[in-house]
């Protein structure tokens, strides 16, 4: 195994000879007689365990080396012991401000330099090993979280698809709702910071949106698949899919206080609420409606309009957009409508692309 390197930087040859003699059995010794030579060695050598650095040197002094190391993020990686003359005592504070590991004064005792050097190298090695282990553990945790998210998303999509299978839809509704929701939330994050939206929150809400109609599992086929307009009594039954969905979520929840569960619950229960209070099941109005449910609500209405259902033909993209903006499908908040306007072309493109792949 190759020896690790030690860089000795001192304009006095006798000091370099003494220090080399102390460390040459354990380390490959690199020598520099000034700061410029030291910086050149730092550029070409990447296995340096420690630098023994003089301050007062010709061409470029020790602080020139420290500046170079600071500019190239080397001070955290390579420990430095500053070896300086008694006359340079006022430089100690300046040296420590750079982050040097230790300061020793000439004349030095070789065995003391050796002991301090070993302690510092061991300390830095332990620090770097700990950082590497922490990074490895963090990477492992992230990978485990990714797999859990993928598994959860698979189960969510599978459970949600049961509704589509029962209602004889194409299977693309859930996928489109997730796309629409994610796009709307990105515009919300960009233009409406008051909602404190983050990429992580967007991901959670988009995944939760797949469950918005899970309660339709509990709606009788005679109502769910009816090709014509529902009677008032049948519509009252259809509206219960919001509360049935919440009952289903209650049975599956692991932690009622989790953010993801709360997003699922809010979307399932409130995605038919409207800004003016004329929605259902709780007739919430305004900002009492969770923003996640508001976003999924407009996505759901748009997708229903542009999709063929057992009770209707599909509307054209522009017509569906105009119907929503004109308030023909219930009232939505000004913020949500503004995001919908910004997302108009994105929505149109998603519908057309999915149609192309569906019928290809």
DSSP, collapsed to helix, strand or coil, labels residue 177 as helix
In sequence order, which ranges of the chain are alpha helices (DSSP H)?
A: 13-23, 35-44, 62-71, 92-98, 110-166, 173-191, 199-209, 221-224, 232-239, 241-252, 259-270, 291-306, 317-325, 334-342, 344-359
| Dihedral-angle region of residue 290 (phi above 0 means left; psi in -120 to 50 means alpha; beta otherwise) | beta
Nearest alpha-carbon partner for 176 in 360, 359, 355: 355
186 is catalytic: no
Summarize the chain as % helix, strand, coil (round to 5): 65, 10, 30
Residue 83 CA to residue 80 CA, distance in Å, equals 9
Between the alpha carbon of residue 240 and those of residues 210, 216, 290, 356, the distances in Å are 18, 8, 19, 34
Look up residue 57 and give its DSSP letter: -
Q: The tokens of 204 are what?
A: 């959670």
Q: The tokens of 30 are what?
A: 């690199």
Q: Which of 216, 251, 253, 312 is catalytic?
A: 216
C-alpha Rg value of the chain to the nearest Å: 34
Beta bridge partners of 103: 82
Catalytic positions are 216
């Amino acid at each position: 195994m190759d020896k690790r390197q030690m860089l000795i930087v001192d304009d006095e040859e006798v000091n370099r000879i003494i220090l080399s003699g102390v460390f040459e059995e354990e380390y490959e010794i690199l020598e520099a007689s000034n700061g410029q030579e030291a910086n050149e060695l730092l550029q070409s050598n990447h296995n340096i365990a420690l630098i023994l650095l003089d301050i007062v040197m010709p061409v470029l002094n020790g602080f020139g080396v420290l500046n170079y190391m600071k500019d190239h993020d080397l001070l955290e990686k390579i420990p430095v012991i500053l070896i300086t003359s008694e006359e340079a005592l006022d430089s100690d504070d300046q040296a420590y401000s750079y982050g040097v590991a230790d300061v020793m004064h000439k004349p030095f005792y070789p065995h003391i330099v050796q002991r301090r050097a070993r302690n510092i190298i061991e300390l830095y090695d332990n620090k770097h090993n700990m950082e590497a282990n922490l990074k490895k553990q963090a990477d492992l945790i992230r990978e485990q979280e990714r797999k859990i998210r993928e598994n959860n998303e698979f189960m969510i999509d599978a459970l949600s698809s049961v509704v589509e299978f029962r209602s004889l839809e194409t299977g693309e509704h859930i996928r489109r709702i997730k796309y629409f929701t994610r796009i709307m939330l990105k515009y919300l994050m960009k233009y409406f910071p008051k909602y404190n939206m983050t990429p992580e929150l967007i991901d959670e809400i988009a995944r939760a949106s797949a469950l918005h109609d899970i309660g339709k599992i509990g709606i009788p086929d005679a109502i769910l698949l009816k090709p014509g307009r529902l009677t008032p009594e049948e519509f009252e039954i259809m509206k219960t899919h919001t509360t049935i969905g919440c009952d289903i979520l209650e049975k599956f929840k692991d932690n009622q206080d989790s953010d993801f569960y709360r997003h699922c619950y809010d979307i399932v229960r409130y995605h038919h609420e409207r800004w003016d209070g004329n929605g259902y099941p709780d007739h919430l109005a305004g900002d009492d409606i969770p923003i996640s449910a508001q976003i999924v609500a407009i996505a759901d209405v748009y997708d229903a309009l542009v999709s063929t259902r057992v009770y209707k033909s599909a509307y054209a993209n522009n017509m569906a957009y105009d119907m929503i903006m004109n308030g023909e499908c219930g009232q939505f908040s000004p913020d949500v409508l503004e995001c919908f306007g910004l997302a108009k072309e994105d929505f149109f493109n998603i519908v057309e692309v999915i149609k192309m792949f569906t019928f290809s």
